């Protein structure tokens, strides 16, 4: 490899880094002030690209020239900024008091809505924007051609960094933003108009996302998958740099840009995993990223299951529900049984997550890792060792437990959003392994022919089998929650220093809980593999993790039955909406947003709160 090639590759990395930084910078600012992990940031980026790719050519027709081009880019970013204001005023403002995870869910609803609206407004085809006037020709660098627009992009990153620095350091708005990043309650106490500050920050964040997207149009066609492909990387940048830290984001973007540029030379097939490996390594060494500060103790994560007196009727109700479920095969047809089987499986999956989030206060964004490990464990032992279902399911459970044991060792050292991101990184790395190790896992085609043993085949028997297994597992986890071990976890969740002061081994307790939860998710994954007859890497993907979170949050994070109800509601909702219309994302997103607004504590939690208010 000669020097000129290395230089060009480094420049390629720098230009990617610049684009990534501009977008991630908005994300980190919004997080710093509002503490909202804005999933919809990628959607704003996509809107920016679509707006610019549509708007700029029209403007260029009016008057061709560099000035028009750059004015069009800025105008598009401004439009996106206004959309950010709209989102803040209409939605986010109403849920600042809700648990952080609920805000995440709401922004995920926005992602779904925007996906469908974008196709409705801009059409299904990818839109290739115009090249920048005056920057069409390449420049020669060390005897190789390099696009001159990329050089402009490389410069744009530091320029934005400088401007944001100026804004934060030299203006009153910037002082307030920094103050809010440090202590939100304090600036409220000092009489600062928070509404205005938050709206302003959202505008700035959305503006930067839109700018990031608009600047892409000469290199990337605006297309419908842009939102999700940028958001994962933008998350990594903000986390590696330290949440809320703008210079940190800049440094992280630089490193990631170079890693990607040179990574494809060494691993041409695994560019994605490199990024998450970096995040895992950085978090293992620096638990708060490069320049992040530890989160305030007793932040809003500490919501979850509390103790309460049981009603005398509870056992009877359980019997009634179990009776109804057992007799379902008498009235339901094969499809109803299949759907109910899946609901039971996802209920167990969401419930295992409840043990982490609701009980231990350990927020996992990568719970799919264990669901998928369980499914793959079962499928692989069936395929390679010809084990029957009765042995393959425990094998899957063991693999998931082992995975959770190893990942947990790293995870429990962290806290808050960094912890969540570590679980996400772990899940992504396992996803990459399943995707790349084609000889063993079958790559993205997965493994087919994973069918239950003869006695459990057929919808009725498999349904009853799943019902028995999930009921036992859920019952056991409920016992764990109510056991002294569960109380210790709750104590650690509510106050870590005090729990340690009375002699609880917080990390050890969390580690055990993480392993149990992983094992339960693995059991659910194994059951799911046999119900579907196949496994593939999507089981390990981010959407599966988001599903579990959504079910948990819809049902209610503070209740025991919440995740069970949430699994049912989400699955039925999807099952009802998807067949009706091709706009199912829009409807599902709107339903999620509606649920967040109407049931700010989840369905079960809100209903209980209403009853208690009435009483």
Partner 1 sequence: MTKASMTRWLALGLSLALLSPAAQAQQASIKLGELNSYARQAAFTVPYRSGWQMALDEINAKGGVLGRKLEIVSRDDGGTTSDATRVADELVTREGAVLLFGSFLSNVGVAMADYANQKKIVYIAAEPLTDAITMAQGNRYTFRIRPNNSMQVGMLMEQAKASGVKRWAIVAPNYEFGQSAAGAFKRLLKEQIPDAEIVAEQYPALGKIEAGATVSALEQAKPEGIFNVLFGPDLTQFVREGNTRGLFEKKTVLSLLTGEPEWLLPLKDEVPEGWTVTGYPWDEIKDPKHKAFIDAYRAKFNDTPRLGSLLGYMVVYMIRDTIERAGSTDTEALIKAMEDAKFDTVIGPVTMRGLDNQATMGAWVGKLVLKGANGGMTDWSYKDGTSFMPSEAEVKAARKD
User: What secondary structure letter does DSSP report for 299?
Assistant: -
What is the distance, to the nearest Å, from the Cα of residue 237 to the centroid of all Cα atoms in its chain? 14
At closest approach, how far in Å is the CB of 152 from partner 1?
Answer: 13
Token couple for 459: 């919808």
User: Minimum distance from CB of 44 to partner 1 (Å)?
Assistant: 18
**54, 107, 201, 260: which one contacts partner 1 (CB under 8 A)?**
260
| Positions in 261-280 near partner 1 (CB under 8 A) | 261, 264-265, 268-269, 271-272
- Give the Å distances, CA to CA, from 44 to 47, 116, 383, 421: 5, 14, 44, 21
Rounded distance between C-alpha atoms, residue 285 and residue 306, angstroms: 34
Q: What are phi and psi of 533, to 5 degrees?
A: 85, 0
Half-sphere exposure in the Cβ direction for 73 (13 Å, CA): 22
Site residues for partner 1, 299-358, by CB under 8 A, read 310-311, 313-314, 317-318, 320-321, 324-325, 328, 331-336, 338-340, 342-343
Nearest residue to 563 via CA among 358, 400, 365: 358
Q: Which residues pair with 19 in a beta bridge?
A: none
Helix (H, G, I), strand (E, B) or coil at 141: strand
User: Coil, strand, or helix at residue 448?
Assistant: strand
Tell which positions 556-575 bind partner 1, by CB under 8 A. Answer: 559-562, 564-565, 568-569, 572, 575
For the window 386-425, what string marks contact with partner 1 as x by the rule CB under 8 A?
----------------------------------------
- Map the footprint of partner 1 across residues 212-231, applying CB under 8 A: 218-221, 223-226, 229
The nearest distance, CB 264 to partner 1, in angstroms, is: 6
Residue 579 interacts with partner 1 (CB under 8 A): yes or no:
yes
Residue number, 8 or 405, with CB nearest to partner 1? 8
Q: Which residues pair with 447 in a beta bridge?
A: 535
Antiparallel, parallel or unpaired: β 144-147 and 447-448: unpaired
What token pair was written down for 275? 């990024």
Q: Which is nearer to partner 1, 173 or 267 (CB)?
A: 267
* Three-state secondary structure of 114-138: HHHHHHHHHCCCCECCCCCCCCCCE
Q: Which of 422, 394, 397, 396 is nearest to 408 (CA)?
A: 422
Least distance (Å) between residue 120 CB and partner 1? 11
- 559, 608 contact by CB (below 8 A): yes
The least CB distance from residue 351 to partner 1, in Å, is 13
Query: 248 or 568, CB closer to partner 1?
Result: 568
CB of 269 to partner 1, least distance (A): 5
Please say which residue, 205 or 304, places its beta carbon nearer to partner 1: 304
164 or 529: CB nearest partner 1: 529
If phi over 0 gives left and psi between -120 and 50 gives alpha, with beta otherwise, what is residue 442? left
| Residue 584 interacting with partner 1 (CB under 8 A) | yes
In angstroms, give the least distance from the CB of 148 to partner 1.
Answer: 9
Q: How far is the CB of 270 from partner 1 (least distance, A)?
A: 9
- Work out the number of other CB atoms within 10 angstroms of the CB of residue 298: 11
- Shortest CA distance to 589 belongs to which of 206, 43, 214, 95? 43
Please identify, using beta-carbon distances, which residue of 172 and 611 lies nearer to partner 1.
611
Q: Supply the minimum distance, in Å, between the C-beta of residue 162 and partner 1.
A: 24
Q: Contact region for partner 1 (CB under 8 A) — 172-180, 440-448, 483-491, 589-597?
A: 440-448
Among the residue ranges 68-76, 417-425, 511-519, 604-612, the one whose residues contact partner 1 (CB under 8 A): 604-612
Q: Between 41 and 532, whose beta carbon lies closer to partner 1?
A: 532
Count the residues of the shown chain that bind partner 1, applying the rule CB under 8 A: 96
> With helix as H, strand as E and coil as C, how does 325-371 read?
HHCHHHHCCHHHHHHHHHHHHHHHHHHHHHHHHHHHCCCCCCCHHHH
Of 119 and 302, nearer to partner 1 (C-beta) is 119
Among 97, 143, 191, 449, binds partner 1 (CB under 8 A): 449
Q: Which is nearer to partner 1, 313 or 598 (CB)?
A: 313
Q: Which is nearer to partner 1, 128 or 284 (CB)?
A: 128
Tell me if 191 contacts partner 1 by CB under 8 A.
Answer: no
Under rule CB under 8 A, residue 97 binds partner 1:
no
First-to-last alpha carbon distance for the chain, in angstroms, is: 76
5 binds partner 1, rule: CB under 8 A? yes
Q: Tell me the three state secondary structure of residue 259.
A: helix
76-102 b/e (C-beta count within 10 Å ≥ 16 → b): bbbbbbebbbebbeebbeebbebbbbb
Q: Which parts of 20-79 interact with partner 1 (CB under 8 A)?
A: none
Cβ of residue 507: shortest distance to partner 1, in angstroms? Answer: 31
Shorter beta-carbon distance to partner 1: residue 42 or 84: 42
Structure tokens belonging to residue 118: 């974008």
Q: List binders of partner 1 among 109-148 (CB under 8 A).
A: 115-116, 119, 124-128, 138, 144-147
Q: How far is the CB of 376 from partner 1 (least distance, A)?
A: 13
Half-sphere exposure of residue 233: CA atoms within 13 angstroms, side-chain side:
26
β-pair type (144-147, 138-141): antiparallel
Q: Least separation, in Å, of the C-beta of 290 and partner 1?
A: 23
Q: Collapsing DSSP states into helix, strand and coil, what is residue 139?
A: strand
Minimum distance, C-beta of residue 202 to partner 1, in the bound complex (Å)? 27
189 binds partner 1 (CB under 8 A): no
Chain positions 498 to 557 lying near partner 1, rule: CB under 8 A, are 532-534, 536, 538-539, 543
Q: Which two tokens stand for residue 139?
A: 């420049």
CB of 216 to partner 1, least distance (A): 9
Structure tokens at 361: 């206060």
Asked if residue 379 lies in contact with residue 447, where contact means CB atoms within 8 angstroms, the answer is: yes
């Amino acid at each position: 490899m000669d020097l000129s090639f290395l230089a060009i590759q480094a420049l390629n990395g720098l230009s990617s880094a610049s684009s990534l930084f501009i977008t991630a910078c908005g994300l980190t600012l919004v997080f710093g002030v509002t503490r909202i992990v804005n999933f919809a940031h990628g959607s704003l980026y996509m809107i920016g690209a679509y707006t610019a790719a549509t708007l700029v050519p029209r403007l260029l027709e009016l008057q061709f020239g560099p000035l028009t081009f750059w004015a069009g880019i800025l105008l598009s970013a401004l439009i996106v900024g206004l959309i950010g204001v709209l989102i803040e005023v209409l939605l986010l403002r109403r849920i600042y008091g809700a648990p952080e995870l609920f805000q995440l869910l709401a922004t995920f609803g926005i992602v779904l809505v925007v996906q469908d609206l974008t196709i409705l407004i801009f059409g299904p085809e990818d839109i290739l924007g115009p090249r920048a006037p005056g920057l069409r020709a390449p420049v020669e660098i060390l005897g190789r051609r390099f696009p001159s627009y990329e050089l402009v992009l490389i410069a744009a990153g530091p320029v934005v960094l400088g401007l944001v620095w100026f804004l934060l350091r030299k203006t009153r708005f910037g002082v307030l933003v920094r103050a809010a990043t440090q202590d939100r309650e304090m600036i409220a106490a000092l009489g600062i108009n928070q509404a205005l500050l938050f709206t302003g920050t959202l505008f700035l964040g959305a503006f930067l996302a839109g700018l990031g997207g608009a600047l892409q149009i000469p290199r990337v066609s605006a297309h419908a998958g842009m939102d999700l492909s940028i958001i994962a990387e933008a998350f990594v940048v903000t986390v590696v740099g330290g949440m809320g830290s703008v210079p940190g984001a800049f440094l992280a973007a630089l490193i990631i840009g170079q890693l990607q540029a040179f990574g494809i030379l060494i691993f041409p097939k695994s560019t994605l995993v490199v990024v998450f490996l970096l995040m895992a390594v950085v978090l293992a060494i620096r638990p708060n990223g490069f320049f992040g500060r530890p989160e305030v103790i007793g932040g809003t994560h500490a919501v979850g299951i509390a103790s309460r007196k049981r009603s005398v009727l509870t056992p009877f109700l359980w019997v009634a529900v179990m009776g109804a479920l057992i007799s379902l095969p008498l009235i339901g047809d094969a499809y109803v049984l299949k759907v109910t089987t899946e609901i039971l499986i996802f209920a167990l999956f969401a419930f295992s997550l409840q043990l982490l989030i609701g009980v231990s206060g350990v927020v996992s964004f990568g719970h799919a890792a264990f669901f998928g490990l369980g499914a793959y464990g079962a499928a692989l032992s069936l395929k390679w060792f010809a084990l029957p279902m009765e042995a393959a399911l425990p094998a899957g459970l063991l693999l998931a437990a082992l995975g959770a044991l190893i990942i947990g060792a790293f995870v429990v050292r962290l806290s808050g959003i960094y912890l969540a991101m570590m679980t996400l990184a772990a899940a992504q790395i396992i996803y990459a392994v399943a995707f790349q190790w084609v000889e063993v896992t079958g790559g993205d085609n997965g493994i087919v022919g994973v069918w239950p043993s003869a006695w459990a085949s057929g919808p009725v028997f498999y349904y009853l089998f799943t019902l028995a297994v999930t009921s036992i597992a859920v019952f056991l986890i409920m016992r764990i929650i109510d056991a002294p071990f569960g109380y210790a976890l709750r104590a650690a969740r509510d106050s870590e220093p005090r729990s340690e002061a009375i002699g609880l081994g917080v990390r050890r307790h969390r580690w055990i809980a993480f392993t149990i939860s992983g094992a339960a998710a693995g059991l659910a994954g194994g059951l799911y593999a046999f119900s579907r007859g196949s496994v593939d890497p999507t089981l390990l993907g981010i959407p599966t993790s988001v599903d579990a979170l959504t079910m948990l949050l819809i049902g209610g994070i503070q209740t025991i039955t919440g995740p069970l109800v949430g699994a049912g509601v989400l699955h039925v909702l999807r099952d009802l909406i998807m067949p009706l219309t091709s706009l199912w994302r829009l409807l599902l997103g709107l339903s999620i947003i509606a649920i967040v607004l109407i049931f700010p504590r989840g369905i079960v939690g809100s209903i209980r709160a209403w009853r208690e208010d009435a009483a």
